[in-house]
Homo-oligomer: A and B are copies of this chain.
Amino acid sequence: MLLSWCPEKELFMPELNFADRLLAAVEAKKSPLVVGLDPSYAQLPAAITGQRSLNDESDTTVAVDAVTEFCNKVLKLVAPHVAAVKINSAFFEQYYWDGVEAFSNIVQEANAHGLIVINDAKRGDIGNTAERYATATLADPGFANLDELVGPDAVTVNPYMGADSVLPFVKTAGEFGKGIFVLVRTSNPGAAEIQDQVLQNGTPLYMHVGKLVEKWGESLIGQRGYSSVGAVVGATNPAQLAELRAALPKTILLVPGYGAQGGTAQDIARAFNADHSGAIVNASRSVIYAYKEAKYAELPWEKAIEQAAIAAKQELAAAAGM
């Protein structure tokens, strides 16, 4: 995190707000692609799991070592082609404290590659608890024994509990020059039975939440006019994606559902504003497990991941009109 002296506040402050940093990184790499790391031991290449003394998940250390080796290789492969990576916290939490430590190690590695890191943790709780989650999932660690470590650059947040569950994350984001992405319309089938419910005034719940997100983000607008408070809006319902894009002009959309979940590049095009910015698009399984796909079957596994990342980057940059 770059800091500069702010004479008004008599504090070292983050030099750029998160939204500005993210947009600059997307433009520098000419890539709206975010690669999602959801590493599952059972899906890893034999070249990685085969070196282990156990060939199943019966020991956390073995699993965590393999997952870490895999993620570090993926980071190196995709770093030239993406601005950001999204790390799925659950896939590390499943290995208990060993997994949580590995998560932090991978954040450090991504940071060393100059990548922006989104912690996909989907936290949300009442005020005094949300402060603790913001510390755990977003802040740079403030403990003497961890003070060499950086935290992620952004975290995903669940809005079901309302403003007092989200604003502590906004506050921490502001203090550390970081960002959040609030769930608005997610890409999964079950989202419809909650988020698509229509309120008495005719507004669908996702739009009601989306407008709250735009409001919550007002305090963190950067020089480019976008807020560091973004929204998660899936690619699986293109009409909703277009509707939310138009209604939330200052909100950066983090778009899941491209690739393995079925969203096409044509669908994705609706996520971008006329200035060709305002969205980043996640692909997880379709990139990190590309070596399992028929079209990459002839390639070594690293090459398959690299090719899939390049193909996704090119398709998404074209969709954005970059």
List the interface of chain A (C-beta within 8 A of B): 38, 57-61, 63, 88, 90-91, 93-101, 104, 120, 122-130, 132-133, 135-137, 141-146, 158-166, 183, 186-195, 197-200, 202, 205, 208-209, 212
- Which residues from B are CB-within-8-Å of A199? 197-200
Contact A104 B93 (CB under 8 A): no
Contact A143 B187 (CB under 8 A): no
A-B contact pairs, 22 of them (CB 8 A): A60-B146, A61-B145, A88-B132, A90-B123, A90-B133, A94-B136, A96-B136, A96-B143, A97-B100, A97-B101, A122-B158, A127-B188, A158-B160, A160-B195, A161-B190, A162-B188, A162-B193, A165-B190, A166-B190, A194-B205, A194-B212, A198-B199
Given contacts A93-B132, A159-B160, 4 further A-B contacts (CB under 8 A): A90-B133, A96-B141, A122-B124, A164-B189
- Which residues from B are CB-within-8-Å of A202? 200
Contact A90 B200 (CB under 8 A): no
What is the CB-to-nearest-CB distance from A138 to chain B, in angstroms, rounded to a whole number? 11
- Which residues from B are CB-within-8-Å of A163? 190, 193
Contact A126 B188 (CB under 8 A): yes
Bound form: Cα–Cα A38–B128 in Å: 10
For residue A98, which residue of chain B has the nearest CB? B97
Contact B144 A59 (CB under 8 A): yes
10 tightest A-B CB contacts, nearest first: A162-B190, A90-B132, A93-B136, A164-B190, A163-B190, A97-B101, A126-B188, A97-B97, A160-B160, A94-B132
Contact B97 A143 (CB under 8 A): no
Bound form: Cα–Cα A58–B143 in Å: 5
For residue A167, which residue of chain B has the nearest CB? B190
Known: A38-B129, A200-B198. A59 touches B145 (CB 8 A): yes
- Which residues from B are CB-within-8-Å of A59? 143-145
- Which residues from B are CB-within-8-Å of A160? 158-160, 183, 186, 194-195
What is the CB-to-nearest-CB distance from A156 to chain B, in angstroms, rounded to a whole number? 9
- Which residues from B are CB-within-8-Å of A61? 145
For residue A209, which residue of chain B has the nearest CB? B194
Bound form: Cα–Cα A133–B276 in Å: 36
Partner of A91, one of B122, B132, B137, B144: B132
What is the CB-to-nearest-CB distance from A218 to chain B, in angstroms, rounded to a whole number? 16
Known: A60-B145, A163-B190, A190-B162. A208 touches B212 (CB 8 A): no
Contact A135 B190 (CB under 8 A): no
Bound form: Cα–Cα A190–B170 in Å: 15
- Which residues from B are CB-within-8-Å of A162? 188-195
Contact A193 B212 (CB under 8 A): yes
